[in-house]
Structure 1
Amino acid sequence: MRRIWRPLLVLLLLLAAFVYLTNTSLLASRSAGDPILLAHRGIAQRFDTTALENDTCTAERIFPPTHAFLENTIPSMRASFEAGADIVEIDVHPTTDGKFAVFHDWTVDCRTDGTGVTREHSMAELKKLDIGHGYTADGGKTFPFRGKGIGLMPSLDDVLNAFPNRRFLINVKSRDPEEGAKLAAALKALPANRRAQLMVYGGDEPVTRLKSELPEVKTVSRGSLKACLIRYIAYGWTGIVPETCRNMAVLVPINVAPWLWGWPDRFLNRMEAAGSTVFLLGPYGGGAFSTGIDTPEEIKQLPVGYSGGIWTNEIEMAADALKSKPR
Structure 2
Amino acid sequence: MIRLRKIFTNKIVLALLLLIAFIYLNNTSLLAKPRTGSPFLLAHRGESQTFHMENLKNDTCTAERIYPPEHPYLENTIPSMEAAIKDGADMIEFDVHITKDEQFAVFHDWTLDCRTNVKGRSNDYTMAELKKVDIGYGYTPDNGQTYPFRGKGIGLMPSLTEVLERFPNQAFLIHVKSDDPREGELLADVLGKLSPERLSLLTLYGGDQPVASARDKLPDLRIMSMATLKSCLIPYLAIGWTGYTPAACRHTEIHMPDKLAPFLWGWPDKFLNRMDHADVRVITVRGNGSEFSSGFDQPEDLKALPQGYNAGIWTNRIDLIGPLYNKKL
Aligned counterpart, 1:32:
36
Q: 1:274-300 CA distances to partner (integer Å, 9 max, x unpaired)?
A: 111000010116x32221122322201
Aligned counterpart, 2:304:
301
Q: 1:4-45 CA distances to partner (integer Å, 9 max, x unpaired)?
A: 112212211221222122111112113321100000111111
User: SS of the residue aligned with 1:220?
Assistant: strand
Aligned counterpart, 1:190:
194
CA RMSD of aligned residues (A): 1.5
Count residues in correspondence: 323
Aligned counterpart, 1:158:
162
State how 1:98-247 maps to structure 2 within 5 Å.
98-247=102-251
Percent pairwise identity: 54
| CA drift at 1:226 | 2.7
1:95 to 84, 91, 99: 99
| CA drift at 1:85 | 0.7
Using the alignment, how far apart are the partners of 2:268 and 2:135 within structure 1?
41
| CA drift at 1:323 | 5.2
1:273 partner letter: H
Q: 1:231-263 CA distances to partner (integer Å, 9 max, x unpaired)?
A: 111110010001222111111111111111111
1:61 to 51, 58, 65: 65
Using the alignment, how far apart are the partners of 1:61 and 1:282 within structure 2?
20
Using the alignment, how far apart are the partners of 2:288 and 2:44 within structure 1?
17
2:24 to 20, 23, 32: 20
Using the alignment, how far apart are the partners of 1:151 and 1:273 within structure 2?
43
Determine if the alignment matches structure 1 residue 279 to structure 2 residue 296: no
Aligned counterpart, 1:49:
53
Task: Say if 1:293 and 1:299, in contact at 8 Å, map to a contact too.
Answer: yes
Using the alignment, how far apart are the partners of 2:308 and 2:118 within structure 1?
48
Using the alignment, how far apart are the partners of 1:220 and 1:300 within structure 2?
27
Using the alignment, how far apart are the partners of 2:148 and 2:293 within structure 1?
27
Using the alignment, how far apart are the partners of 1:9 and 1:323 within structure 2?
52
TM-score of the pair, normalised by structure 1: 0.95
Using the alignment, how far apart are the partners of 1:247 and 1:119 within structure 2?
31
User: SS of the residue aligned with 2:279?
Assistant: coil
1:264 to 259, 264, 268: 268
User: SS of the residue aligned with 2:254?
Assistant: strand
Task: Say if 1:30 and 1:305, in contact at 8 Å, map to a contact too.
Answer: no
User: SS of the residue aligned with 1:107?
Assistant: coil
Using the alignment, how far apart are the partners of 1:91 and 1:30 within structure 2?
35
User: SS of the residue aligned with 2:8?
Assistant: helix
Task: Say if 1:200 and 1:207, in contact at 8 Å, map to a contact too.
Answer: yes
Unaligned segments of structure 2, at least 5 residues: none
Using the alignment, how far apart are the partners of 1:139 and 1:304 within structure 2?
41
User: SS of the residue aligned with 1:278?
Assistant: strand
1:311 to 285, 291, 314: 314
Using the alignment, how far apart are the partners of 2:145 and 2:18 within structure 1?
70
| CA drift at 1:188 | 0.5
| CA drift at 1:215 | 2.1
Unaligned segments of structure 1, at least 5 residues: none
Using the alignment, how far apart are the partners of 1:16 and 1:208 within structure 2?
39
User: SS of the residue aligned with 2:293?
Assistant: coil
TM-score of the pair, normalised by structure 2: 0.95
User: SS of the residue aligned with 2:141?
Assistant: coil
Using the alignment, how far apart are the partners of 2:287 and 2:66 within structure 1?
23
| CA drift at 1:47 | 1.3
Using the alignment, how far apart are the partners of 1:63 and 1:298 within structure 2?
18
Structure 1 residues 74-83 or 299-308, which shifts more? 299-308
User: SS of the residue aligned with 2:210?
Assistant: helix
1:49 partner letter: M
